[in-house]
Structure 1
């Protein structure tokens, strides 16, 4: 073979340039042609230059001698082992028996839903003496028409015999209102969310090496608050209005959200409207059976002068409510993988929700107190004017304006309930201009000035508390200067009254040096609900005064 040593290098360069563009059969033919041209010793020389075995070159020579026309195949037909299903005709029936639903087979079989992974199915087959790997099991299942799939949440929990008729009645009423240019809204409460560094479902694009770090457990005790989004979807305008509550999801909260929507958006969008249609599911804060819901709607109808009609979805069909798939679904997409670290973050993510069809969303925060357990007396319920429809009046009814109704109770009988997260509630409300007597920019300047002087004190002389920041202590002292009771201030910030008194005593001289000597709050406030109601009433009065001018 020494006579080909000088040709090896040039032959190797030639083959390296050509063979990457050929398939396996074509490469064998090329090797064979080169070997035949070299003559005796050509097989070894080509094998050495190409880096293949001499058998590969010999098979190429055999292909040349056979003189077969190219048929597009690389290898001869019939290669490879026979399929396991061919060797074992009982393999497929045994596999199909394993993957039968438990409702179709024997419930006492050892195979359960948890064994339906490929590995467990292969193990079950092996226990029967049928050897098949995961890939084989997957191929057999695919050939039998199986595929990976999730659950489809389309079955209603209950099926009322008049369900379809109620949907037709609801749709006809919606079409009538929209044709007349009257407002139609769909309402519901979205799932409550914990405020804090908690994991959120979903994924989003992010730069490498910068994952968002969250807590490994979603314990409510680690949350700084609870967000209760109440959604209002305006069908005629394709606009959403979401009020994020911080206390409880009650009928009073739902009515407050509707009131706020009408004052901020509805009244301007429908200046000539005399009636309003609400579509809602049959449970929760807007339950068709709740007297508190209807009593609060009567108050709202009287305040706005609107005749309010309500159409409830039939039982078990709340997922068909339009606010669910036209508003809430897009909010969930927009805040996927975003930890709701604060109420401001939640509001920003909600208000940033848009769609290609032009959806716009407004988000507002409601820190008011909405205690549970409020009861509507029989006398109060009997005084309500509610006009039920002839078709399922429990689902379809109209509430007209009715002056002279008794006020809806703000507190349950007996001991009063308080906000779910009083410390967050108090810290948010403590900075309101109606309570501090200062605009936010002025309050910020006061807080910065006082904090700088407090930070200049020796550490042992600084006012501090493990539950409060320095800003919280300054705000508490500001409220004290405005005449808010110590007991209410201490309750709002969730610390003892004696502790609050000592902290305020340390900060008060710095406020006086700053020159903060305000007028007292012009109202008698006893508990957090009085505080929230005062702010809400004063804000609404100021808004109406600006509108009238």
Structure 2
């Protein structure tokens, strides 16, 4: 196809204006570029417009196709406007002083409490006599190795000295349960969600320009309710159960969620189970400090006939809980960018969560009420069928289905009238015959006499033999300081000091008090005693009507 006469005419006018300002090679390259742009017939048309031979234009095309060396700058070396960092030697140092991480705590820094954008940095530098633009600031920062950075969640705070040991112990418990076909679950409460037209993080594919409209403000008062997802992740089966509550995130709700999982999934998956291992965070509704958590688990153990062992993750390691990254992370990805407008949307979105590794999730709505402020008294805590493990009994403990039967007891709790101090030294409670307990007391007393004492101090209100007995009951039965203080008619502080002191002597003597595999039935009598003393003390301080 030939080039039109109008195109040749326009090209002639352009070349007449430009070619006189170019040298021979530049003219040749320009003509070659114009010919390539015109396509078929371009060489002839350009040669006609420029008044040169077609071979000259063809040579220019060949040079361009061959990738000839660029002509380079015509300006002399060092010519042109100087960079600001060269004309203002102090500019770079002044900028780095504003953004250097080590200067964040400088109270004199004008940008200490503001976002250090390039515009604000440029403004501050200009006020200090360094006239510079935001783009130049960005160029200098990039040249110094800076880039836009978000916060990174890497700081875990101070590590507990037994953190690694607890993880090793927890893994041993998981293996022991899993290898014998016993269920192992990881539990936690997911972030609470407002129900309504509220923004949900993330994005999803939609027609261009048609985002889902949501409320500008996330006010709880305008919500149609709330969703409290409590998740149970079965480690061996790779299945999840999420109980979505609507009331409060309490220990009662947490155990109710585990109960619903057991009846819906666990019992069918593990029909021969006799034990259940729960791995949980150190805080929240399932905290190791929460008494009602242990009380509710004791009820669950009695209902199901399972010995329930709980191993808590060390403080500050909640993100390592398997339910977080094996269940909750996938739920969050599944409903990203979708407003949770109803509980039905929450339930269906959770239940639709799957992974390529085979994760399957069930979800159910829990409309029950779980009021705050539930309390468990010292007496109730002492009566729980709970044994603490030798290693970190506060983090690792087992709740048994029922107390062992006591031949002298009935189905009902023994009344306080049957109480006698000699019951405390019963072999069923101490785990050793009375002569053995007496020998242990004598050995520890001999070691106690060898302790260096700076000054006599005030004598203890509890005899040495009772201190040994108190410590044995604490280590064997896991009794807390409060009920022990009631049983031995002393204060909680004295009970604590006695346990610490006798514990040091036991370590020195090389003696160990093994925890009871199942709480003895005589604990019922101790429970009745503590409960009676609590009631008596409460009646004494009642105000007169």
Task: State whether residues 115 and 121 of structure 1, in contact with CA within 8 Å, keep that contact through their aligned partners in structure 2.
Answer: no
Partner of 2:448: none
Q: Which residue of 2 aligns with 1:168?
A: 168
Inter-CA distance 115–219: structure 2 relative to 1 (3 Å threshold)? closer
Q: TM-score, normalised by structure 2?
A: 0.62
Distance 1:73 1:105, change over 3 A: farther
Counterpart contact for 2:166–2:314, Cα < 8 Å:
yes
Alignment counterpart, residue 10 of structure 1, candidates 5, 8, 11: 8
Q: Which runs of 5+ in 1 are unaligned?
A: 1-5, 17-23, 36-44, 51-68, 407-549
> What SS is found at the alignment partner of 2:194?
strand
Query: Alpha-carbon deviations, 1:382-425, whole Å to 9, x = none?
Result: 1112111111110011111116799xxxxxxxxxxxxxxxxxxx
- Range 73-82 or range 323-332, more displaced: 73-82
Q: Equivalents in 1 of 2:124, 2:28: separation in Å?
A: 47
Distance in structure 2 (CA, Å) of the matches to 1:228 and 1:146: 42
Q: Residue deviations 1:292-343, cap 9 Å, x none?
A: 1011111111111111111111112212211111111111111112111110
Distance 1:191 1:28, change over 3 A: farther
Question: CA distance change for structure 1 residues 247 and 80 in 2, over 3 Å: closer, same or farther?
Answer: same
Aligned residue in 2 for 1:489 = none
**1:75 Cα deviation after fit:** 4.4
> 2:201 corresponds to which residue?
201
Q: Report deviation, 1:82.
A: 3.4
Q: 1:29 aligns to what?
A: 28
- 1:250 aligns to 2:250 (yes or no): yes
**TM alignment of 1:73-84, pairs within 5 A:** 75-76=73-74, 78=77, 81-84=81-84
**In 1, distance between residues paired with 2:342 and 2:148?**
38
- Identify the residue that residue 413 of structure 1 maps to in structure 2: none
Q: 1:34 to 1:328 in 2, by over 3 A?
A: closer
Q: Provide Cα deviations, 1:340-372, integer angstroms capped at 9, x if missing partner.
A: 111000001111112222211111111111111
Report what 1:493 is aligned to: none
Aligned equivalent of 2:417: none
Distance 1:221 1:144, change over 3 A: same
Q: Structure 1 residue 343 and structure 2 residue 322: aligned?
A: no
Any idea what the Cα deviations from partners look like across 1:2-35, whole Å, max 9, x if unmatched?
Answer: xxxx97743757999xxxxxxx999753446899
Contact 2:106 2:112 in 1 (8 A): no
Q: CA deviation at 1:46?
A: 7.9
CA contact (8 A) 2:105 2:112 kept: no
Matched residue, 1:377: 377
1:69-88: CA deviations, max 9, x gaps? 94245645757533322333
| Alpha-carbon separation, structure 2, partners of 1:34 and 1:343 | 67
- Give 1:389's aligned residue: 389
TM-aligned CA distance change 1:380 to 1:132, over 3 Å: same
Q: Say if 1:174 and 1:70 are closer, same or farther in 2 by CA, change over 3 A.
A: same
**Structure 1 pair 28–289 and aligned structure 2 pair: CA distance change class (3 A):** farther
Q: In the aligned structure 2, how far is the partner of 1:186 from the partner of 1:115?
A: 40
Please state whether the residue corresponding to 2:308 is helix, strand or coil.
Answer: strand
Aligned position for 1:278? 278
Matched, 1:122 2:122: yes
Q: Is the 8 A contact 2:170 2:311 kept in 1?
A: yes
Sort the Cα spacing of 1:261 and 1:210 in 2 relative to 1 into closer, same or farther, 3 A. Answer: same
Q: C-alpha distance in 1, partners of 2:319/2:265?
A: 26
Q: Secondary structure at the match of 1:202?
A: coil
Q: Please say if residues 31 and 46 of structure 1, whose CA atoms lie closer than 8 Å, have aligned partners that are also in contact.
A: no
Quote the offset at 1:380 in angstroms: 1.6
How far apart, in 2, do the equivalents of 1:286 and 1:363 lie? Answer: 20
Q: How does 1:487-498 map to 2 (within 5 A)?
A: none
Alignment of 1:15-94 (within 5 A): 28-31=27-30, 70-72=68-70, 75-76=73-74, 78=77, 81-94=81-94
* Gapped regions of structure 2 (runs ≥ 5): 15-21, 35-44, 51-66, 404-410, 414-545
Q: 1:274 to 1:314 in 2, by over 3 A?
A: same
> Is the deviation greater in 264-273 or in 130-139?
130-139
Q: 1:109 to 1:29 in 2, by over 3 A?
A: same
**Cα distance in structure 2, aligned partners of 1:305 and 1:331:** 32
State the Cα RMSD in Å: 3.4
Q: Name which one, 1 or 2, has greater alpha-carbon Rg.
A: 2
- Structure-1 separation of matches of 2:84 and 2:165: 55
> Are the structure 2 counterparts of residues 33 and 270 from structure 1 closer, same or farther at C-alpha, using a change threshold of 3 Å?
closer
Asked if the contact 1:307–1:400 (Cα under 8 Å) also holds between the matched residues in 2, the reply is yes
2:340 touches 2:346 (CA, 8 Å); kept in 1?
yes
Q: Does 1:152 align with 2:152?
A: yes
1:177, distance to aligned residue in structure 2 (A): 2.3
Q: In the alignment, what sits opposite 1:467?
A: none
Distance 1:72 1:168, change over 3 A: farther
Q: Check whether the contact 2:103–2:109 (CA below 8 A) recurs between aligned residues.
A: no
Deviations 1:468-510 (A, max 9, x none): xxxxxxxxxxxxxxxxxxxxxxxxxxxxxxxxxxxxxxxxxxx
Offset of 1:144 from its aligned partner? Answer: 1.2
Q: Equivalent residues in 2 for 1:209-224 (5 A)?
A: 209-224=209-224
Secondary structure at 1:346 match in 2:
helix
Say whether residues 1:318 and 2:318 are aligned partners: yes
User: Which residue is 2:293 aligned to?
Assistant: 293
Instruction: Classify 1:299/1:115 alpha carbon distance in 2 versus 1 (closer, same or farther; 3 Å).
Output: closer
Note the C-alpha offset of 1:202: 1.7
Q: Is the 8 A contact 1:125 1:132 kept in 2?
A: yes
Please give the secondary structure, in 2, of the residue aligned with 1:397.
strand
Residue 181 (structure 1) shift: 2.6
Any idea what the Cα deviations from partners look like across 1:80-106, whole Å, max 9, x if unmatched?
533322333322211111102365563
SS of residue paired to 2:397: strand
Does the C-alpha gap of structure 1 residues 100 and 9 become closer, same or farther in structure 2, counting only changes over 3 Å? closer
